[in-house]
A and B are shown apart, each in its own frame.
Chain A
Amino acid sequence: MSRFLLGALVAFFAVTGGAQPESRSVLGERNPLLAAGADAIRAGRYDDGIRLTLQGLESETVSPRLRSAALANLCAAHAANGAPDTALGFCAESLAIDERNWRAYSNRAFAYWLKEMYAEASADIEAASAIAPEAPQVRQIRGMINEKILRPTVTMETRE
């Protein structure tokens, strides 16, 4: 899978706010840097996204839940940038604030997947699935993990 596709996958689920209480417009008004960072990550401009998000976390007033979401975004952006070790740190921070942040679990699962740590990736994607079982991103990551860890066999029996 190309880095571009991996990046697109992570960024896609990192920045949307579906499960978050803050609406996109409120986020934009009160936290313009975080909103711009999320937009940059969504657009695949990870370095810009990381910079803006870090600035936003330093200068804007954010609720714990929004801080957790922003850290999960940083995790996603670093993973998409091919830096899973850095990503793991941000995901851990995100989950320390909000242990129900399924995006952080999902992003961390992706970071583990990049490091070929499939047992850890499986555990995280299960945690994400327990919170957001219908999330397409969770199913996608789980599929990527299954592709790596499951060994298919086909047994044939003749009936003649």
Chain B
Amino acid sequence: MSVAYRSGALGVLALLLGAGEVAANDAEVRPVGVWSCLMYGEAGNQRFFLELAADNSVRMARLAEAGDGVWRPLGAWRRQRGRLEFADEANGRLFVARLAFTDLGGTWRGIRDGGGWWCAAETRAADGAPPPVHRLLESLVPAIMASPNYPLGAIREAKEGRTVSCFIVMGTGEIRRPEVIESTDEIFRRPTLEAVAASRYRSWGDENAALPACRSFTFELGTDG
């Protein structure tokens, strides 16, 4: 290996180490790093970058801020009973992540609304600025949208419900690591995960690229009359 190549490889390694890391052995997610995130709620969906630092500081860059190459500081993050929390006081939101998930994400609560959020590990920019804004503008086009089977047990018990599954979409369109982050009843968890696992997106980037995405499923029962 030439010196130049080794130096370049080390540089890449250093950059990768700075990125949000996903635990490789089903251990809890390691939150420190830069993340490309999706937030959903009644008002719609929003993508943003998130940086959680080892000193517990948190910074966010939404589309406009990422376009200007600046971060906006949020409240410090802290671990508490298997969860990670931080506040966006300017918007009155509390973000809570379940550390048991393989990727960073969970739910958020505002004064009048709430929703979920999910993040994919992002490469930290060398200058400490947010990643390129175009990463927030990538569009994901579904190729296969599998629908969950309505569990027979739920039909028999006349159970309706709702689930939300979040996952990572690789540049190849493959879906990785789906999790159920909201569920009104455990009976809907398995069909939700099976449907997501059977779905895929059109290729949108290289095999190392990753974006977060979520799907909600509403299970309802009607009658012919």
Closest to B216 in A: A157
> B202-213 toward A: CB 8 Å interface, digit per residue (1/0)?
000000000101
**Complex interface residues of chain A between 62 and 99 (CB less than 8 A to chain B):** none
Q: Does A146 contact B (CB under 8 A)?
A: yes
Contact A155 B157 (CB under 8 A): no
Whose C-beta in chain B lies nearest to the C-beta of A150?
B221
Bound form: Cα–Cα A22–B19 in Å: 74
User: Contact: B220 with A155, CB < 8 Å?
Assistant: yes
Question: How many residue pairs at the A-B interface have CB separations less than 8 Å?
Answer: 77
Q: Is the CB of A158 within 8 A of B213?
A: yes
How many A residues touch B, CB cutoff 8 Å?
Answer: 17
Q: Which residues of A contact B71 (CB under 8 A)?
A: none
B166 contact set on A, CB distance < 8 A: 159
B38 touches A151 (CB 8 A): no
User: Which residue of chain A is the closest to B157 with respect to CB atoms?
Assistant: A143
* Complex-state Cα separation, A160 to B221, whole angstroms: 27
Could you say which of A142, A143, A146, A154 has the most chain B C-beta atoms within 10 Å of its C-beta? A154
Q: Are A146 and B217 in contact (CB under 8 A)?
A: no
A156: Cβ under 8 A from any B Cβ: yes
Q: Which of B136-150 contact A (CB under 8 A)?
A: 139-140, 142, 145, 147-148, 150
- Contacts A149-B223, A151-B221, A152-B220: A158 and B215 contacting too (C-beta < 8 A)? yes
- Which residues on B are within 8 Å of A, measured CB to CB? 38, 40, 45, 116, 139-140, 142, 145, 147-148, 150, 152, 154-158, 164, 166, 195, 211, 213-224
What 5 additional pairs, Cβ within 8 angstroms, besides A151-B222, A155-B218? A149-B223, A150-B223, A154-B219, A156-B195, A156-B218
